Chains A and B, each alone.
Chain A
């Protein structure tokens, strides 16, 4: 604790040195550290997304939002956030602060949000100490205004997949299999011409089915209903904001009614009630209380959605009928899951989630002691529980075999009763306590705001070693000289319980400085209304790694058998050695920026940012000899550098009844691995160190083999991944050893996380009509098309898509000159199906994320203050190079949806 004292003293000293002037004057928070553009609720009002994250694509500079998939529950698909690119080999999740407390963004509803901002600069990061390094998304909820206001909103939307893969029909599939077998050297086709005709004509469909599985499982669209109502008002000493949201989302899955007591159609409904209260207790004390209660329930089939969709993609149209003629589910010994039965007849799983979020803050003005002195105390208590209710069963299915007119059935599987399982899936309790004493004063041209803040935070989750506890004490000083020079300084002594005892705390200092050039007397420009140059530098940390890493534990080991009857014995083994010299991951951040307002209508800003992340936990096994004989601990030795630029433009113009607004932001971030303890590599180009995180690597192709003679030519490098045949991918021998193996792998393209991220918004309003469109795009991004059936066809009895058959040219002896994909094969073919540039695509895209067309009803109809009707759409189009699948989702998952909704919003 000695270090904590020292920190306290240092903070006090700083405070007192700056608190020297007696001319105190309370002033509003004029600090400089909350950098980054703030999005007010007015911009979000054009959105109807149920998940808050889905409304944030491309809106905030520096905030990289990419679509994400959950895989289990489709409505839990929430986007992933990154701030200013990627800087760590470890966890890069930014900190999300809601009303001052770390919270899950998915607990919020869109209309509750008052403002969203992204904190990127060094001072803001240092303020959050051991959680600040990944950047901070700061959200505040709405507060009551005086008077009485009410607003009711209802919208109804249809969701349809923006892009959906198409698979070959049965006849096409059968011909493709025959072609593949011929390519593999098996000259007896699996399907005769007669059989292919049956597939085409639909005759004897029980034996020769042609099933479009997506059609069987999906309806044309899903739906979403949303109702929300907001009330706020009050007088000077009491204000309230209260909101209610109900939403009901229904997927486009359509389970067959099989007379069971349940319906497994995936859906999700949620209900939020928020109340934010502000009281004035006497003349010097303010109290605010925020409460959020939320319940949520979602259903899915007992099989996870990802498995279900994979089985739908991987089952060929020709495999088996949905049901055989006896009425039993179809299936075969090879294809053991019937997608429709998986959806309809396996039971269901329901997750109920309840949340209660509560926080309270008291601000006490201590001017009666000394003018400008104040204190704040805040406490928050959140809890969450997930309850999982699963009722699962199995189904029997039959395989029809034989010839037309002579069909026999073979039975598989067993129909079982619904089995019940109910469990408390997860439980989480968090509490945060913080206290601030601050002192604001001004003298002449100097204004100061100094404060000391103490904060402690605890999140207790079920299970072991899931608890996180953090503690921080910091001194923050803001200085303003006549609105010309502004500066912030912070010293944060911040600790986390993941570190070993005695090493909990680290000191995070940061400073920022700004010069508002336009406020200088020498600055005279009618064009430039505002000009500011600012810079910051400082340290912050990240504690997103596991507990007890410094300790070694004994683990359950392997099995061996003794005794005359060969009994199983299980060993105990030594777990990995404890980390020696564990350090908190540390970020050194610096930036330099300029902001300007031109002609009172155009705001622009540009900044350069730099980050050096060190002490990242990386594998130690590559630097410790295997003779040690035990798993080597990770070591705090990783280092990554990340830098880039960011631009923001905002232009608003109003001419008569015509309003036009354009705003846009652009971020370019490029990172480089400085050290990751990489093992020895035989060729210099094989090192990942020096390249970007998540960089794609693979073999460089050199066309396709034309002939057996070419393959056997001693000058042709030997490809060692497996037997090659004409039509297989030929690779470039990078090290000229006349052999193609893992040592010919090179860097290809970029990574899955784009280097360039941008967004722009167009707002046009004329009289009562208006349009708001939000675009978002990325560039310098690479995707790897490796999903079976969709891109890798037929192998291991999977399916084939029209991407392979129609959208591209596969190799056949006839198309050898123009082919861009290798020959068809039924085999595993490790030569073709591996990371290489054939399967790699430019992952850049530009998407229309949101479009809002609205009409404000004229006059005060029915005494309403305002009534608006609107048509909205999200994810309406994408310009990209994939075309076939969503560039953000190339795997087998529930497709990302376009939403078309209409709604009405009435204000009283």
Chain B
């Protein structure tokens, strides 16, 4: 404290006192009091240390954005964070895979919230798969990165030996971030329809009155971004640095555009059936097909969990874990928890190897395939069946699965599958849970080439029918579909089909090709086929008398489906905070 200042203040204080002086107060008195007063003040000053006593700073860490872009490694870590919002579906909804909310799957444990999708309790206040905040967090991270990386100046590292490597790597960073921003917007739009499009940083003062942008405009933004980014991003990082594997490529941008435009053309978002939208979608898929960056592998090569697949466009990467195996190994195995169970509905979608339909009816197995043997209903099926489902009599970890009543993986065992099937796709059989646990890398496929072909087939069929091709659209819808079937060693569709019939062929093909890969949930919505498909969930009950087995159809549950479920409800709390997000999605 400055003593001078204090003295001045005292003078002021004295004037103030005079004004307040009470009448009995004599002059001498006043003087004496003032003297005392100064003495006491001096005493006080003697013990008063510096004014900045309360100023100290024990904080550590970075508190400014600029600090985060001072070095290559810190900037790279900011981008790494942007990737972490990519999600997988290794049981992402409270242990259950997303397919458990479709006719393909059933989650064995009733306390999982994945059941809320289908039991009627889903609402704007009881949210399921509540990703609103998480995806907008991802979007903020990308926006921050895009805003700051362009201002970053790394030139002072110019003489470092690794400078050139860093420059090579960092030239793509902002494009990677922009792709992720577009991808997260798509994840939001496919859930909520119209959403706020966020390309700048908001603060608490202006975020509460942000408005929604119509779905089609969001898609337009995504498609335009993908076009720009496809020009900038590399086809592969093999020429840049092997250290960059796993990052966004040109193909990923083209694939996102294909998927986004297909969704935009689909009945849910294209009520007038604007053919131009289908044509745009077909063109986006076709551009990627023409590029020949990717190709189909033989059916023997795993299409999932396989970084070496030529089909793989973009994956979400994880460390070594066995969480997915813990959730889904069949009951009866050490640590088996059953988890996601394929349904009879799905199994019925797999044809015989000869291309005939098979189904389990109340009177038993039925198929028009003359080669079908009802006592061996799982023999000679679509090869993809064996990659998707573990069934009674199949082998798992060198043991024969026994789903029949009293079998080692069947009723009445606690947690035994109620549908009669266990999951196989994405499970890594070599993982051990007990006695010593082992782990493996898991990779979730975000885009693979088969999707592009089936996107093309679907869009072409809707735009032109199954047979059309020309100089631009070089192959027909049927030809594209047959590429997928041939690869699966399934008989091709050999004749032209009417649009409607071919549509259902494509829908079935997508279902079996991408079972448990996170497509069915969205496909039934954009096709608006929920009412027809999402009610009765069926399973098989098997009894064995030692020599032979009898199969009977069981009703697992009757699900609640409303048309409103084609979109998610916007969280009620968001509408409450920001009324400009109204109206709520239809029906909620």
A residues whose Cβ falls under 8 Å from a Cβ of B: 1, 4-5, 8-9, 12-13, 15-17, 19-22, 184-188, 366, 369-370, 373, 375, 377, 433-435, 437, 439, 452, 454, 456, 464-467, 469-471, 495-497, 501, 504, 547-548, 551-555, 557-564, 566, 568-574, 577, 580, 620, 622-630, 632-633, 679-680, 682, 718, 720-723, 739, 741-743, 828, 830
Q: Which residues of A contact B361 (CB under 8 A)?
A: none
Q: Which of B80, B204, B576 contacts A632 (CB 8 A)?
A: B204
A13-B17, A16-B17, A572-B74 are contacts. A628–B202 as well, Cβ < 8 Å? yes
Complexed CA–CA distance, A629 and B196 (Å): 12
Residues of chain B in range 410-441 having any CB-CB distance to chain A below 8 Å: 412, 414, 441
Task: For B195, give the chain A residue with the smallest CB separation.
Answer: A627
Q: Which residues of A contact B573 (CB under 8 A)?
A: 622, 679-680
Q: Is the CB of A570 within 8 A of B56?
A: no
Among the listed stretches B59-67, B227-235, B255-263, B264-272, which one makes contact with chain A, having 4 or more residues with CB under 8 Å of it?
B59-67
Q: Which of B62, B77, B307 contacts A571 (CB 8 A)?
A: B77
Q: Which of B37, B247, B441, B576 contacts A562 (CB 8 A)?
A: B247
14 new A-B contacts at CB < 8 Å, known A571-B82, A624-B207: A5-B9, A12-B17, A16-B20, A373-B36, A435-B43, A435-B48, A557-B84, A571-B79, A572-B68, A626-B136, A721-B111, A722-B111, A741-B126, A830-B111
Q: Which residues of A contact B581 (CB under 8 A)?
A: 625
Q: Is the CB of B139 within 8 A of A547?
A: no
Task: For B47, give the chain A residue with the smallest CB separation.
Answer: A435
Q: Which residues of A contact B80 (CB under 8 A)?
A: 557, 560, 562, 569-572
Q: Which of A370, A501, A573 contacts B55 (CB 8 A)?
A: A501
Q: Which of B6, B20, B22, B60 contacts A13 (CB 8 A)?
A: B20
> A4, A184, A625, A722 — which one has the most chain B CB atoms within 10 A of its CB?
A625
Among the listed stretches B24-32, B323-331, B371-379, B537-545, which one makes contact with chain A, having 4 or more residues with CB under 8 Å of it?
B24-32
> A186, A626, A627 — which one has the most chain B CB atoms within 10 A of its CB?
A627
Residues of chain B in range 523-581 having any CB-CB distance to chain A below 8 Å: 571-574, 576-578, 581
Q: Is the CB of A439 within 8 A of B126?
A: no
What 4 pairs across the A-B complex have the smallest Cβ distances? Answer: A571-B81, A629-B140, A437-B40, A626-B133
Residues of chain B in range 49-91 having any CB-CB distance to chain A below 8 Å: 49, 51, 53-56, 58-63, 67-68, 74, 76-84, 86
Among the listed stretches B237-245, B274-282, B285-293, B388-396, which one makes contact with chain A, having 4 or more residues with CB under 8 Å of it?
B237-245
B residues whose Cβ falls under 8 Å from a Cβ of A: 1, 5-6, 9-10, 12-13, 16-17, 20, 22, 24-25, 29, 32-37, 39-41, 43-44, 46-49, 51, 53-56, 58-63, 67-68, 74, 76-84, 86, 110-111, 116, 119-121, 125-126, 132-133, 136-141, 143-144, 196, 198, 202-204, 207-208, 210, 242-247, 307, 317-319, 412, 414, 441, 571-574, 576-578, 581
A464-B58, A627-B198 are contacts. A9–B119 as well, Cβ < 8 Å? no
Q: Which residues of A contact B51 (CB under 8 A)?
A: 1, 4
A796 → B minimal CB distance (Å) = 13
Complexed CA–CA distance, A378 and B44 (Å): 12
Q: Which residues of B contact A555 (CB under 8 A)?
A: 61
Complexed CA–CA distance, A497 and B121 (Å): 49
Complexed CA–CA distance, A505 and B92 (Å): 49
Q: Which of B25, B32, B48, B242 contacts A454 (CB 8 A)?
A: B48
Task: For A181, give the chain B residue with the smallest CB separation.
Answer: B414
B223 → A minimal CB distance (Å) = 22
Complexed CA–CA distance, A626 and B61 (Å): 26
Q: Which residues of B contact A375 (CB under 8 A)?
A: 40, 43
Q: Which residues of B contact A569 (CB under 8 A)?
A: 76-77, 80
Q: Is the CB of A186 within 8 A of B139?
A: no
Task: For A568, give the chain B residue with the smallest CB separation.
Answer: B319
> B24, B54, B136 — which one has the most chain A CB atoms within 10 A of its CB?
B54
Q: Is the CB of A828 within 8 A of B111?
A: yes
A–B pairs, 19, beta carbons within 8 Å: A16-B17, A17-B22, A375-B43, A452-B44, A454-B48, A464-B60, A552-B63, A554-B61, A554-B62, A559-B84, A562-B243, A569-B80, A571-B77, A573-B141, A574-B144, A624-B208, A626-B133, A627-B136, A629-B202
Q: Is the CB of A562 within 8 A of B63?
A: no
Task: For A467, give the chain B residue with the smallest CB separation.
Answer: B58
Complexed CA–CA distance, A467 and B53 (Å): 12
Q: Which of B13, B46, B204, B574 contacts A580 (CB 8 A)?
A: B204
B569 → A minimal CB distance (Å) = 12
Complexed CA–CA distance, A568 and B136 (Å): 24
A554-B62, A722-B110, A830-B111 are contacts. A13–B48 as well, Cβ < 8 Å? no
A563-B245, A624-B577 are contacts. A630–B140 as well, Cβ < 8 Å? yes
Q: Which residues of A contact B121 (CB under 8 A)?
A: 720, 739, 741
Q: Is the CB of B84 within 8 A of A625?
A: no
Q: Which residues of B contact A620 (CB under 8 A)?
A: 204
Q: Which residues of B contact A552 (CB under 8 A)?
A: 63
A833 → B minimal CB distance (Å) = 11
A577-B204, A628-B207 are contacts. A562–B317 as well, Cβ < 8 Å? yes
A510 → B minimal CB distance (Å) = 21
A494 → B minimal CB distance (Å) = 11
Task: For B116, give the chain A residue with the smallest CB separation.
Answer: A720
A28 → B minimal CB distance (Å) = 20
Q: Which residues of B contact A551 (CB under 8 A)?
A: 59, 63
Q: Which of B47, B136, B140 contacts A433 (CB 8 A)?
A: B47
Q: Is the CB of A625 within 8 A of B319?
A: no
Q: Is the CB of B110 within 8 A of A561?
A: no
Q: Which residues of A contact B61 (CB under 8 A)?
A: 553-555
Task: For A635, give the chain B residue with the smallest CB separation.
Answer: B204
B395 → A minimal CB distance (Å) = 26
A20-B22, A187-B412, A720-B119 are contacts. A464–B59 as well, Cβ < 8 Å? yes
Q: Which of B40, B53, B84, B319 contacts A456 (CB 8 A)?
A: B53
A629 → B minimal CB distance (Å) = 3
Q: Which of B29, B83, B133, B208 contacts A22 (CB 8 A)?
A: B29
Complexed CA–CA distance, A564 and B33 (Å): 85
Q: Which residues of A contact B33 (CB under 8 A)?
A: 16, 19-20, 370
Q: Which residues of A contact B46 (CB under 8 A)?
A: 435
Task: For B315, give the chain A residue with the smallest CB separation.
Answer: A561
Complexed CA–CA distance, A9 and B143 (Å): 52
Complexed CA–CA distance, A741 and B40 (Å): 68
Complexed CA–CA distance, A501 and B57 (Å): 10
A395 → B minimal CB distance (Å) = 19
Q: Which residues of A contact B242 (CB under 8 A)?
A: 563-564
Q: Is the CB of A626 within 8 A of B84?
A: no
Q: Is the CB of A739 within 8 A of B120?
A: yes
Task: For B84, give the chain A residue with the smallest CB separation.
Answer: A558
Complexed CA–CA distance, A828 and B63 (Å): 45
Q: Which residues of A contact B126 (CB under 8 A)?
A: 741-743
> A366, A624, A682 — which one has the most chain B CB atoms within 10 A of its CB?
A624
Q: Which residues of A contact B40 (CB under 8 A)?
A: 373, 375, 437, 439, 452
Task: For A574, give the chain B residue with the smallest CB separation.
Answer: B144
Q: Which residues of B contact A625 (CB under 8 A)?
A: 207-208, 210, 574, 577-578, 581
Q: Is the CB of B59 within 8 A of A627?
A: no
Complexed CA–CA distance, A17 and B387 (Å): 93
Q: Is the CB of A366 within 8 A of B39?
A: yes
Q: Is the CB of B81 within 8 A of A573?
A: yes
A437-B44, A469-B53, A624-B204 are contacts. A20–B144 as well, Cβ < 8 Å? no
Complexed CA–CA distance, A897 and B46 (Å): 52
Complexed CA–CA distance, A627 and B578 (Å): 10
Complexed CA–CA distance, A439 and B48 (Å): 20
Complexed CA–CA distance, A553 and B57 (Å): 14
Q: Is the CB of A13 within 8 A of B47?
A: no
Q: Which of A437, A456, A497 contacts B43 (CB 8 A)?
A: A437
Task: For B39, give the chain A residue with the smallest CB separation.
Answer: A369
Q: Which residues of B contact A723 (CB under 8 A)?
A: 110
Task: For A624, give the chain B residue with the smallest CB separation.
Answer: B204
Q: Which residues of A contact B16 (CB under 8 A)?
A: 9, 13
Complexed CA–CA distance, A555 and B78 (Å): 10
